[in-house]
């Protein structure tokens, strides 16, 4: 095959990505204490239509990493068909987990390189299932650095956590 030709698998991938709807997913998690009460939030944008969905929630006893993962899961669950997703997160844990660590964890039966069980395995498995449905590009953004959507997600996650704390008189 000449160097300028595309192999069938590369062609299929390129064609598929052109046919998928494109969305932007911004996520954030917040926790007071680690563990402690925490919140998650996402903003999902469809640039072609200008439509947007946002969501937030909270848990009483959780960790920041669980809230970061939950935000991504909740955002991806909004997608009813396979999509091309640009995922923006300030969590290195989430992005490295998705891009680098998860494949090796799965090969080792959800164990780390030091043979320890993977923390938050339940959420990673849910995320793995969702990831297989979509074409996802990962983007790290610095937290609390005046990125509008990240700041918005942060505020929503904090508000969700605070509402839960107030409801339970904590």
Any idea which residues carry the catalytic annotation?
28-29, 68, 90, 144, 154
How far apart, in Å, do the first and last CA atoms of the chain sit?
67
Q: What is the β-pairing status of strands 22-31 and 36-46?
A: antiparallel
CA distance 163 to 103: 37
Retrieve residue 83's tokens.
Answer: 């999509």
């Amino acid at each position: 095959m000449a160097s300028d030709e595309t192999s069938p698998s590369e062609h299929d991938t390129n064609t598929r990505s052109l046919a998928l709807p494109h969305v932007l997913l911004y996520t954030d998690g917040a926790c007071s204490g680690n563990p402690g009460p925490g919140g998650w939030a996402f903003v999902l944008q469809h640039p072609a239509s200008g439509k947007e969905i946002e969501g937030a929630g909270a848990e009483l006893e959780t960790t920041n990493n669980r809230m970061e993962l939950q935000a991504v899961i909740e955002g991806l669950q909004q997608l009813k068909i396979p999509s091309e997703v640009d995922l923006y997160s300030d969590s290195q844990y989430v992005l490295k987990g998705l891009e680098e660590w998860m494949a090796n964890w799965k090969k080792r039966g959800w164990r780390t390189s030091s043979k320890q069980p993977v923390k938050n395995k339940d959420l990673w498995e849910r995320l793995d299932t969702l990831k297989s449905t979509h074409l996802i590009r990962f983007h790290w953004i610095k937290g609390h650095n005046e990125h509008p959507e990240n700041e918005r997600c942060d505020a929503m996650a904090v508000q969700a956590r605070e509402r839960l704390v107030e409801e339970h008189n904590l």
